Amino acid sequence: MKKHTWTIILILAVLNINAQKRKEFFKSPEGVFYVSSDLHIHSVFSDGVVWPTVRVDEALRDSIDLISLTEHLEYQSHLYDIPHNNRNRSFQIADEYVQKRPLSIVHGTEITKPMPPGHFNAIFIKDANKFFGNDKEPLNFIDAINEANNQGAFVFWNHPMWEANRSDGIAKLDPIHIDVINNKLLHGIEVVNFDTFSEEAMQIAIENELTMMGTSDVHVLIEWDFNIEKESFHRPITFIMSKNRTMKSVRDALFNGDTFIWYRDLIIGKSKNLKQVIENNLEVISKGYEYNNRKVEILQLEFINKSVAPISLNYIGDYTFHNDYKYIELEPKSSKNIFVKTKKIENKIELEFEVLNYVVAPKTNLKTIKTINIQ
Ligand SMILES: [Zn+2]
Ligand SMILES: [Zn+2]
């Protein structure tokens, strides 16, 4: 397929997002869509234990907008019972099943090699069968990653911290990784995979301008590993900060590094991205100078958390609070009154916080300043 034909298909393909049915995880600014995604999932067509349609139903229950069934090219555990030659089947079954419901499927696969280089997901592929040679054997790593790029895929490095590959759990680059990064064949890296989070992978992402990804890499039923109803026990979700709902815009955002990850109680991502998230999800409103019906120089503020994740603040300015210490914990979708002792009546104040559960680099939390106009 010619490149421009592919671009037109991406523009015409619109995410099946139905705003009414969709759980709102985070408020996004006007003109930006936070597309919830899990782009690393397995079914019985490789080493998962469920049929592809189950993945669709699970994602719908979890209000996920976009998934990819990234079956291993190199092994199929159930081949004896489910023989098939068409490596696109898993995608086709899921895509036919989803129909008009608010979920989109992007075609993907997992290139699965021993470390180094390890495992890689290629998503936005067109044909998984092309990852095999004339001898029907999977292509070697370099040929496979080139094939993925020829198909226009977004390629990311899976679980670089996996203790089966790295016994110290430390993600690090081997020469082959530096090679594919330099040749622009690798575009992203998992900083979160299933129940692991790697600060070293974050550092690799920052230094090499790779997109940060977080995925479930689920093989069993999602409910056996995670539970969306318990906020801190949900599956890892990568939010793609897309300009509109076309697949082209989603793909562009992935290539631009416009993502953030919700993992347990943490929000993980590049500083510029998390800045947008906190600005749109933490609101502080002045309620005036009054305490117990008495006019005072103590300012009442309402802190509102509009997101599904907690917001854990550490105030780093000079004021002190009337009821609280410098730590302010905001539960998901909740609000709290805080009384600030400003010593005199002000018409505007600034409060600076470190957001303890927003991680922008290894050992580094997001900082945010809230400017409050006092009525
Ligand atoms: Zn893997
Ligand atoms: Zn996998």
- Read off the pLDDT of residues 274-284 as tens digits, 9 standing for 90 and up: 999 999 999 99
What gap in Å lies between CA 180 and CA 67, rounded to an integer?
Answer: 25
Per-residue pLDDT band for 14 (boundaries 50, 70, 90) equals confident
CB atoms within 10 A of CB 193: 23
Mark whether 177 and 232 lie in a shared domain.
yes
Mean pLDDT of the chain: 95
Q: How much distance in Å is there from the Cα of 112 to the middle of ligand 1? A: 6
> Which DSSP string corresponds to 262-307?
EETTEEEE-HHHHHHHHHHHEEEEEEEEEETTEEEEEEEEEEEE-S
How remote is the CA of residue 119 from the centroid of ligand 1, in Å? 5
How sure is the predictor about 229, in pLDDT bands with cuts at 50, 70 and 90? Answer: confident
Region 142-162: what's the mean pLDDT?
Answer: 98
Tell whether 264 and 290 lie within a shared domain: no
Give the number of domains in the chain.
2
Give me ligand 1 centre to Cα 159, in Å.
7
Tokens of 58: 């699970």
Structure token digits, residue 128:
């998984």
User: 39 lies in a domain?
Assistant: yes
Distance CA 196, CA 184 (A): 26
Of the two residues 228 and 56, the one the predictor is more confident about is: 56
One domain, residues 12 and 98 = yes
Mean pLDDT of 302-330: 98
In a domain, 368, yes or no: yes
Ligand number with the minimum distance to the CA of 109? 2
pLDDT tens per residue, range 246-282: 999 999 999 999 999 999 999 999 999 999 999 999 9
* Claim to verify: residue 247 and residue 295 sit in the same structural domain: no
Judged by its nearest atom, the ligand closest to the C-alpha of residue 108 is 2
Share of the chain above pLDDT 70, in %: 94
Q: Any idea what DSSP says for residue 74?
A: S
Judged by its nearest atom, the ligand closest to the C-alpha of residue 217 is 2
Residues 247 and 285 in one domain: no
Band (61; pLDDT cuts 50, 70, 90): very high
Domain containing 219 — which CATH number?
Answer: 3.20.20.140
Per-residue pLDDT tens over the stretch 82-131: 888 899 999 999 999 999 999 999 999 999 999 999 999 999 999 999 99
Check pLDDT > 60 for residue 18.
Answer: no
Residues 202, 165 share a domain: yes
Q: Is the domain of 200 the same as that of 165?
A: yes
- Whether residues 197 and 321 share a domain: the answer is no
Judge whether residue 13 has pLDDT over 80. no
Q: Is the dihedral of CA 344, 299, 281, 315 positive or negative?
A: positive
Within-domain flag for 274: no
319 and 204 within one domain: no
Among 211, 239, 269, give the residue marking a domain's end. 269
Is 276 inside any structural domain?
no
Residue 152 pLDDT grade (very low, low, confident, very high; cuts 50, 70, 90) = very high
Span from the CA of 293 to the centroid of ligand 1 (angstroms): 61
Give pLDDT, residue 7: 65
Across the beta sheet with 320-321, the strand order is 282-291, 294-305, 334-341, 320-321
What was the pLDDT predicted at 11? 65
Q: Which of 4-18, 130-144, 317-331 has the lowest mean pLDDT?
A: 4-18
Domain annotation covers residue 275: no
Q: Give residues with Cβ within 8 angstroms of 200, minimum separation 6.
A: 160, 161, 170, 171, 172, 362
pLDDT at 311: 98
Instruction: Examine residue 319 and state whether it is found in any structural domain, yes or no.
Output: yes
Same domain membership, residue 313 and residue 196? no
Place 4 in a pLDDT band, splitting at 50, 70 and 90.
low
End-to-end CA distance of the chain: give it in Å, rounded.
60
Q: 238, 269, 300 — which closes off a domain?
A: 269
- The domain in which residue 194 lies consists of 3-269
Q: Please tell me the distance between residue 45's alpha carbon and the centre of ligand 1 in angstroms.
A: 14
Which one of 235, 269, 303 terminates a domain? 269
Cα gap 179→173, rounded to integer Å = 10
CATH code for position 359: 2.60.40
Is the confidence at residue 56, as pLDDT, over 90?
A: yes
Same domain as 193, residue 129: yes
